[in-house]
């Protein structure tokens, strides 16, 4: 077979390790393992979402509503945009792939930051486009340098804010300047997977409502604060013309009915979201305080995870795993001395920190 040459050097995405897999491999009881590796919601899905999904299970013999009418209506009302501004994806990862289909051809350039989300380079390579990696500044995006890296061949700039895996966030002023400076023929794909965790995020929805920035696509997800990662649902918010192009590409039933029902109900569960924000900020403070005490370098985060420098990241990851705590090693991100820890419940955080102290011999 003549497999596409674009696949030859394509990196394979390395996900956080599933609890069952680790249990099988190490002969551990899955109930005794905690996973703090994929920035999932430690409180679980919203109870309202869960009830709606249970109800929907009775109808899984039927195809879902391919246009997700009710969910788009509700999201549009919540965001103050129209359904024509919205594209739903099988996770926002699918929205990233749709962008590739819409804009990337061999010779096209994609600008990202060092330590960017791993899916951007994968999608860039998948379409044979050229990745332009801009060195980070203090582990954060250097937005001025990213602007300077744009050439006439640039088609897409990806910015995650907050960024995963670093947890860094651009200031509102800096980000606003950047949004205004990106040339009109370059898509700015602004990944806001963690925006709900920020206290005062820059609100770019006015740019969408006014239609003033046709080259801006905001991407959000139900995987993180809404606790629906397993159902796979995310969305893009953009100009109706670009959304219409993405709609041509997506598969007719890309969002399953259970995901639609769960997301629809979860949008009403403001208590669940507020509770998640609260335990998250407490957890972040606990990690920061403890890392300081232990003399460990870390990157201040406003997301639901934190990057900490532990020496040999792969070793610490392996040792923590033996103690039933799954975190994320960062070798694949050129950060071999670091691990990324998702903020869990208070109990999980405590257990993770105790295990870390044991592994680092600080007990």
Ligand X SMILES: *Cc1c(COP(=O)(O)O)cnc(C)c1O
Residues that bind ligand X (CB under 6 A): 39, 91-93, 117, 160, 164, 191, 193, 221, 223-224, 229, 234
Compute the least distance from the CB of residue 309 to ligand X, in Å.
20
CB atoms within 10 A of CB 55: 12
142 vs 354 by CB, closer to ligand X: 142
221 vs 257 by CB, closer to ligand X: 221
Kindly provide the b/e burial profile for residues 183-214, where b requires at least 16 CB atoms within 10 angstroms of the residue's own CB: eeebbbbbbbbbbbbbeebbebeebbeeeebb
Cα(347)–Cα(293) distance, rounded to whole angstroms? Answer: 19
Closest CA to 106 of 125, 129, 123, 124: 129
Compute the least distance from the CB of residue 59 to ligand X, in Å.
24
Compute the least distance from the CB of residue 359 to ligand X, in Å.
25
42 vs 324 by CB, closer to ligand X: 42
45 vs 91 by CB, closer to ligand X: 91
Per the listing, tokens 């419940």 go with 345
266 vs 359 by CB, closer to ligand X: 266
164 vs 276 by CB, closer to ligand X: 164
Cα(302)–Cα(225) distance, rounded to whole angstroms? Answer: 13
Compute the least distance from the CB of residue 201 to ligand X, in Å.
15
SS3 content of the chain, % helix, strand, coil (to 5): 45, 15, 40
Which residues contact residue 267 at a Cβ distance below 8 angstroms, ignoring those fewer than 6 apart? 74, 75, 78, 226
Compute the least distance from the CB of residue 2 to ligand X, in Å.
30
191 vs 324 by CB, closer to ligand X: 191
**Interior angle at CA 343, CA 341 and CA 347, nearest 5:** 110
Compute the least distance from the CB of residue 293 to ligand X, in Å.
28
Give yes or no for a cis peptide into 165 (omega within 30° of 0).
yes
Nearest position to ligand X, beta carbon: 91
Compute the least distance from the CB of residue 210 to ligand X, in Å.
25
Compute the least distance from the CB of residue 53 to ligand X, in Å.
17
R_g over Cα of the chain: 20
Closest CA to 111 of 85, 142, 69, 67: 142
Cα(304)–Cα(197) distance, rounded to whole angstroms? Answer: 7
123 vs 261 by CB, closer to ligand X: 123
CB atoms within 10 A of CB 289: 11
Per-residue tokens: 145: 């340098």
């Amino acid at each position: 077979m003549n497999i596409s040459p674009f696949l030859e050097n394509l990196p394979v995405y390395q996900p956080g390790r599933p609890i069952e897999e680790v249990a099988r491999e190490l002969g551990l009881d899955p109930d005794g393992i905690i996973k703090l590796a994929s920035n999932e919601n430690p409180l679980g899905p919203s109870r309202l979402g869960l009830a709606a999904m249970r109800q929907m299970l009775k109808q899984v013999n039927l195809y879902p509503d391919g246009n997700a009418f009710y969910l788009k209506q509700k999201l549009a009302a919540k965001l103050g945009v129209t359904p024509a501004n919205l594209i739903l994806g099988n996770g926002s990862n699918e929205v990233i792939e749709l962008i590739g289909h819409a804009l990337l051809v061999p010779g096209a350039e994609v600008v990202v930051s060092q330590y960017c989300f791993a899916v951007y380079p994968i999608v860039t390579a998948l379409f044979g486009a050229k990745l332009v990696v801009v060195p980070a500044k203090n582990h954060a995006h250097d937005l001025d340098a990213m602007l300077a890296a744009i050439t006439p061949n640039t088609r897409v700039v990806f910015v995650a804010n907050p960024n995963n895996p670093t947890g860094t966030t651009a200031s509102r002023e800096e980000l606003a300047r950047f949004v205004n400076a990106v040339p009109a023929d370059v898509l700015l794909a602004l990944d806001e997977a963690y925006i709900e965790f920020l206290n005062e995020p820059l609100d770019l929805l006015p740019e969408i409502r006014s239609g003033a920035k046709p080259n801006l696509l905001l991407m959000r997800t139900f995987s993180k604060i809404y606790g629906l990662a397993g159902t796979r649902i995310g969305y893009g918010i953009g100009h109706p013309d670009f959304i219409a192009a993405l709609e041509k590409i997506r598969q007719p039933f890309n969002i399953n009915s259970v995901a639609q029902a769960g997301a629809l109900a979860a949008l009403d569960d403001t208590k669940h979201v507020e509770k998640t924000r609260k335990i998250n900020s407490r957890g972040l403070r606990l990690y920061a305080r403890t890392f300081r005490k232990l003399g460990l370098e870390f990157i201040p985060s406003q997301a639901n995870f934190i990057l900490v420098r532990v020496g040999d990241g792969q070793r610490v990851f392996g040792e923590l795993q033996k103690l039933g705590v799954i975190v994320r090693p960062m070798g694949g991100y050129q950060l071999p001395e670091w691990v990324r820890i998702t903020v869990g419940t208070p109990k999980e955080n405590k257990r993770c920190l105790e295990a870390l102290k044991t592994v680092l011999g600080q007990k």
